[in-house]
């Protein structure tokens, strides 16, 4: 393939090895080049390799798509980490300090960049379900495909040691790259028909918890709490993350798409909810909470939307989120702007109340410090935060793992974006666990909240396709 010939890793790696010898420690070499167009979904699909990490990210308007294959360097933190956000930041800065980067400042989403995420709650004990997904895990991909406003770029990352031979390393990388790109021919993304058995994990108990929480809220113990539940699927054939991602791509044009593959399992989904995005000193977040269904035609859709906009129960659910995110922005930013009234955010299966929040980062505010302040917002945890987290640990019969947690990327400049990992599922071989939750307030009704979770399972269920036995 002609792409390979355009990339010359040698000069950068030589520079890295020299620097590494001088400093006496390893040095990151990151090289980015523009390449002819590659289909990001095919690149993801072709990149499958046993035991290796793949990462996929697309923002809702598909301005930026990132596909990371393999690992040049990584961060993994367990529950013992004191402050996982700061620890990630600290290690990342340290790696970047002496990095050789060519070019020094490329388009958004290129150059050294970490992809990964955090668990929802490090104080909740992880079960074997989430094996391979610790409290924080970030990968600096060996190969990163960036599609930014339609332009394709390939970043190749390698960490060199003082004793490395530049020529050997460069050759290895070129070979590896040729293989990766070569595999893309012959990949087909046809759907295999799948038949699976689905069971809901304790739906009645979930409804009971909803009534109980609604009573606790009426009694003034808290304002809002998000309760989630799980559906488990078992199939005779393995679920294929890249096929599901393909379907999500086709069906969920207004959502973030994400996939994090680790140790043979893949956490993926199509989330409408941005936690926080940083571009220079501009920070944005979105409050998405309050839900209704889509109509069968334009008129019905509009009616449901108008009902949602004026529904007191949903407005309370939404307002709790707006207040908390506004406060976090007022701490970390200047020029905070929040519209007075929510509008609607429509995705294929539901419509939500939506309020964007933006501000300008104060000195010392970083993307990850904002993630720390914001997560979990009352859209996914509750309010007050600590009371809600304790109740979630006590009441939910599932391990949230990375569900509803911050998923995304951060680059060498500190730019990046995190979405909330909802409308999501964890695929491991022949089993899949799908998750959905609801914001419970004082006048929540268990049956309608249950129906709401059913709608929120749809994006993943329909992307998986096949039939339930
Ligand atoms: C918790 C989820 O969604 C959250 C809950 C919502 C609600 O209850 O109205 C709406 C959007 C999200 O903030 C989920 O999809 O699993
Ligand atoms: Mg709701």
Tens digit of each residue's pLDDT (9 = 90 or more) over 98-154: 999 999 999 999 999 999 999 999 999 999 999 999 999 999 999 999 999 999 999
Position 3 confidence tier, pLDDT thresholds 50, 70, 90? very low
Q: Ligand 1 atom 9: the closest Cα is on which residue? A: 290
**Averaged pLDDT, 152-157:** 96
Which pLDDT band holds residue 185 (cuts at 50, 70, 90)?
A: low
> Interhelix angle for 10-23 vs 166-183, to 10°?
140
Q: Quick one: average pLDDT of 192-206?
A: 91
Cα(116) to centroid(ligand 2), Å = 27
Mean pLDDT in residue range 222-247: 96
d(CA 380, CA 214): 16
449 among annotated binding-site residues: no
Average pLDDT for 263-279: 97
Q: How many CB atoms lie within 10 A of CB 250?
A: 10
Q: Which of 318, 351, 438, 459 to mutate to test the pocket of ligand 1 (most atoms within 8 A of CB)?
A: 438
Residue 1 in this model has a pLDDT that exceeds 50: no
ipTM over 0.95 threshold: yes
Instruction: Say if ligand 1 is within 6 A of residue 434 CB.
Output: no
Does the beta carbon of 142 sit less than 6 angstroms from any atom of ligand 1? no
Among this protein's residues, is 45 annotated catalytic? Answer: no
Q: What percent of the chain has pLDDT over 70?
A: 96
Please indicate whether residue 274, judged by its CB atom, sits closer than 6 Å to ligand 1. no
The distance of Cα 234 from the centroid of its chain, to the nearest Å, equals: 24
Question: Is-catalytic flag, 178?
Answer: no
Question: Is 216 annotated for ligand binding?
Answer: no
What does the mean pLDDT of the chain come to? 94
Residue 294: closest CA among 279, 308, 304: 304
What pLDDT is stored for residue 140 in this prediction? 98
Question: With a 6 A CB cut-off, is 437 part of the ligand 1 pocket?
Answer: yes
**What would the pLDDT profile of 16-31 be if each residue is shown by its tens digit?**
999 999 999 999 999 9
Q: Using CA positions, which residue lies closest to atom 2 of ligand 1?
A: 437
Pick left, alpha or beta for residue 413 (phi over 0 → left; psi -120 to 50 → alpha; otherwise beta): alpha
Question: Cα dist. 165→160, 220, 462 in Å?
Answer: 9, 66, 50
Nearest CA to ligand 1 atom 5: 438
What domains are there in the chain, each with its CATH number? 2-183 (no CATH), 195-468 (3.60.120.10)
**In angstroms, what is the span from residue 159 Cα to ligand 1's centroid?**
40
């Amino acid at each position: 393939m002609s792409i390979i010939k355009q990339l010359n890793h040698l000069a950068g790696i030589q520079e890295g090895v020299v620097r590494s010898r001088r400093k006496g420690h390893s040095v990151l070499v990151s090289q980015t080049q523009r390449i002819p167009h590659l289909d990001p979904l095919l690149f993801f699909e072709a990149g499958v390799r046993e035991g290796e990490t793949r990462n996929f990210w697309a923002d809702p308007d598909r301005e930026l798509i990132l596909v990371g294959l393999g690992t040049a360097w990584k961060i993994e933190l367990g529950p013992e980490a004191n402050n996982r956000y700061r620890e990630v930041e600290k290690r990342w800065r340290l790696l970047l300090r002496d990095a050789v980067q060519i070019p020094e400042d490329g388009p958004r989403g290129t150059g050294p960049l970490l992809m990964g995420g955090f668990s929802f709650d490090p104080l909740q004990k992880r079960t074997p379900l989430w094996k391979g997904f610790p409290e924080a895990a970030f990968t600096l991909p060996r190969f990163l495909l960036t599609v930014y406003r339609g332009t394709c770029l390939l970043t190749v990352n390698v960490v060199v040691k003082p004793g490395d031979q530049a020529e050997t390393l460069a050759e290895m990388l070129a070979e590896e790259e040729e293989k990766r790109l070569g595999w893309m021919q012959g990949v087909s993304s046809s759907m295999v028909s799948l038949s699976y058995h689905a069971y809901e994990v304790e739906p009645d108990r979930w409804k009971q918890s909803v009534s109980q929480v609604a009573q606790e809220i009426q009694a003034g113990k808290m304002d809002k709490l998000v309760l989630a539940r799980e559906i488990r699927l078992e199939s005779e054939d393995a679920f294929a993350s890249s096929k599901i991602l393909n379907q999500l791509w086709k069906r969920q044009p207004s959502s973030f798409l994400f996939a994090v593959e680790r140790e043979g399992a893949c956490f993926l989904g199509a989330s409408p909810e941005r936690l926080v995005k940083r571009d220079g000193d501009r920070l944005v977040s979105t409050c998405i909470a309050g839900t209704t269904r889509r109509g069968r035609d334009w008129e019905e859709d509009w009616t449901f939307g108008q009902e949602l906009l004026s529904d007191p129960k949903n407005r309370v659910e939404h307002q709790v989120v707006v207040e908390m995110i506004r406060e976090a922005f007022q701490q970390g930013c200047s020029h905070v702007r929040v519209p007075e009234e929510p509008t609607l955010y429509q995705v294929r299966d539901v419509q939500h109340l939506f309020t964007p929040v933006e501000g300008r980062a104060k000195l010392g505010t970083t993307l990850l410090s904002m993630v720390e302040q914001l997560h979990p917002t009352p859209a996914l945890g509750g309010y007050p935060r600590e009371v809600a987290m304790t109740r979630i640990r006590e009441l939910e019969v599932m391990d949230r793992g990375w569900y509803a947690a911050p998923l995304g990327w951060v680059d060498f400049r500190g730019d990046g974006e995190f979405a909330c990992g909802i409308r999501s599922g964890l695929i491991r071989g022949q089993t899949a666990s799908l998750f959905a939750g609801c914001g419970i307030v004082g006048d929540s009704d268990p049956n309608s909240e249950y129906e709401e979770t059913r709608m929120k399972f749809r994006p993943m269920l329909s992307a998986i396709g096949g039939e339930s036995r």
